[in-house]
Amino acid sequence: MKVLLVTGKLAETQVKEVAKKFKCKIYVTPVEVASLIKPKIILKNLTDQILKNVDIILVPGLIKGNLNVIQKILRIKIFKGTRDISDIPYVLENINSIKLSKDIPADILFKTELKDRALEELDKVNSRKYIRSKLKSSENFLIGDLPVGLDFPIRVVAEIVNAGDMKDIDIVKRAKYYIREGADIIDIGMDDKNPSRVKEIINLLRPLNIPLSIDTMEKENIKSAIKNGIDLILSFDYNLLMKFNDISIPSVIIPKKNSIPSDSSDRQKLMENNIKLALKRGFSTPIADLVLQPPMMGLVNSLITYKRYSEKHTTPILMGIGNSTELLDSDSTGINAVLSAIAMECNVNLIFTTEASGKTVGSVKELSTAVKMMFICGIKKSIPVNLGIDLLINKEKKIKRDELDKNIIENIKNVKARCKKVTKINDEGYFRIFIKEQIYCVHYYKNTPHFLIYGKNARKISDTIFSLNLIKDIDHALYLGRELQKAEQSLTYNRSYTQT
């Protein structure tokens, strides 16, 4: 299949390298910037010689206009390629399997395709047939109607902290927010003894049709929760275990309420003894929480305990990740991703978190995404990259930027001196914006670099352009302001920037 790549002058060198590698034909339009190429320019300049033996025409992903017109006249299939040159090879490698579009850039399509495949895998797990077959295994169980276990993604338990002190309207609002963010279980945090309030909150949240858990170590609160149909109980230590018998509700067991041993072996032994006691006293589904301690306070030792315990026992496991995100002044995204991967390796079934402070806002959504990523990795037996879903929020996997011609910087060394010579520019002038160690705004006059304004502040560059009378049209000014602000943000956060 012979492919013709259409591009602009500025990208000619890079596109030619790709064309040579994949044995494609190439047509470079008279237009400098690829995104400004219009269908009529393509029709006007593509000759029969250029189109000879061509099966598909790929135009830049950012091109505007109706490609159907070109296809109808030339009688050759035409599609949008990628928005960035570095993505063209992936399209050419998969040209026979990717479904291309005349409206949507190819890089968006193949990212969507990867995501769709990932979601298909997750949909299989949610099918009734799959759930029914996997619940036959002793390693899987139900919390309410929610299947939990090694054959399912790690489930996210989101705590409403100090729910007993909150107004009903705020409790419901918080619960609905957690559900939208991807929580699988809503946890009712209750520090003080208040069994009547426990009943009220359970009845308040039950219409949301999501499993509910109670987080308390008050005996009367637990009794009230059991009586009112709670789906999961957190948490029992030795003393609390001795006060209950025959609990059919899944219940989280901890090694000790206070002064948890830092030594991995001692902590594991305490956990094993408490699990044995729970089974002896009729707890049908005990869940082990080895207690994840904060960074610099025993984080590594607690992770070692989790790993060792999981290698020795098939008991369901819960890991409380909120300790690490709340007690570490760092963005939560990466912490949640890494701890989710560790949890997966430790056969953890439930992850417990909250969003009690500003720095942890978004943790529920981050964990919901992370556990899905790790589950798909488990299915594919792969590492968590190129899955179609990711947690790249502030950073990018690959930074993409247009290359700035070095000659422009070398030839325009004294910006102020050049600017003084400028008195009036007619409407033939336009700007190209690039990023390296700062923002470079190049003014072109009659398709030739006329002069350069550079710096790290979009506002100052905009003010300079205006003061020099380099821009007249209000639409152009608004566009340029948006682009410069995007460039500044890209520079600040080290992200991709391509002028659109």
DSSP 126-181: HSHHHHHHHTTSTTEEEETTEEEETTSPPEEEEEETTGGGS-HHHHHHHHHHHHHH
**Judgement on whether residues 201 and 273 belong to the same structural domain of the protein:** yes
> Would you state the pLDDT for residue 407?
66
**Judgement on whether residues 238 and 89 belong to the same structural domain of the protein:** no
Task: Please choose, from the candidates 484, 415, 486, 483, the residue with its C-alpha nearest in 3D space to the C-alpha of residue 449.
Answer: 415
Residue 457 belongs to a domain: yes
Per-residue pLDDT of the chain (500 residues; tens, 9 = 90+): 899 999 988 888 888 999 999 999 999 988 877 778 888 888 888 888 888 889 999 998 888 888 888 888 888 999 998 887 878 888 888 888 778 999 888 888 887 777 887 888 888 898 999 999 999 998 899 999 999 999 999 999 999 999 999 999 999 999 999 999 999 999 999 989 999 999 999 999 999 999 999 999 999 999 999 999 999 999 899 999 999 999 999 999 999 988 888 899 999 999 999 999 999 999 999 999 999 999 998 999 999 999 999 999 999 999 999 888 888 889 899 999 999 999 999 999 999 999 988 888 999 999 999 999 999 888 878 888 877 788 888 777 777 777 776 666 665 544 443 444 444 444 557 888 988 888 989 888 777 777 788 889 999 999 988 888 888 888 888 989 999 999 999 888 888 888 87
Final residue of a domain: which of 107, 142, 167?
A: 107
Give the pair of three-digit tokens for residue 31.
Answer: 């237009």
Give the pair of three-digit tokens for residue 395.
Answer: 């950073």
DSSP-based helix, strand, coil % in the chain, nearest 5? 45, 15, 35
Give the span between the Cα atoms of 427 and 417, in whole angstroms.
Answer: 23
> Would you state the pLDDT for residue 422?
43
> Would you state the pLDDT for residue 418?
45
**Judgement on whether residues 46 and 194 belong to the same structural domain of the protein:** no
Give the span between the Cα atoms of 277 and 272, in whole angstroms.
Answer: 9
> Would you state the pLDDT for residue 26?
92
Domain of 324, CATH number, reads 3.20.20.20
What is the residue range of 15's domain? 3-107
User: Residue 369 is which amino acid?
Assistant: T
**Judgement on whether residues 271 and 189 belong to the same structural domain of the protein:** yes
Query: For residue 264, which phi and psi values (nearest 5 degrees)?
Result: -60, -45
Q: What is the pTM of this model?
A: 0.75
Q: How many folded domains does the chain comprise?
A: 3
Query: For residue 347, which phi and psi values (nearest 5 degrees)?
Result: 60, 35
> Would you state the pLDDT for residue 412?
54
Give the span between the Cα atoms of 102 and 61, in whole angstroms.
Answer: 9
Strand order in the sheet with 3-7: 25-28, 3-7, 56-59, 77-80
**Judgement on whether residues 200 and 329 belong to the same structural domain of the protein:** yes
Give the span between the Cα atoms of 184 and 177, in whole angstroms.
Answer: 12
> Would you state the pLDDT for residue 453?
87
Length of the chain: 500
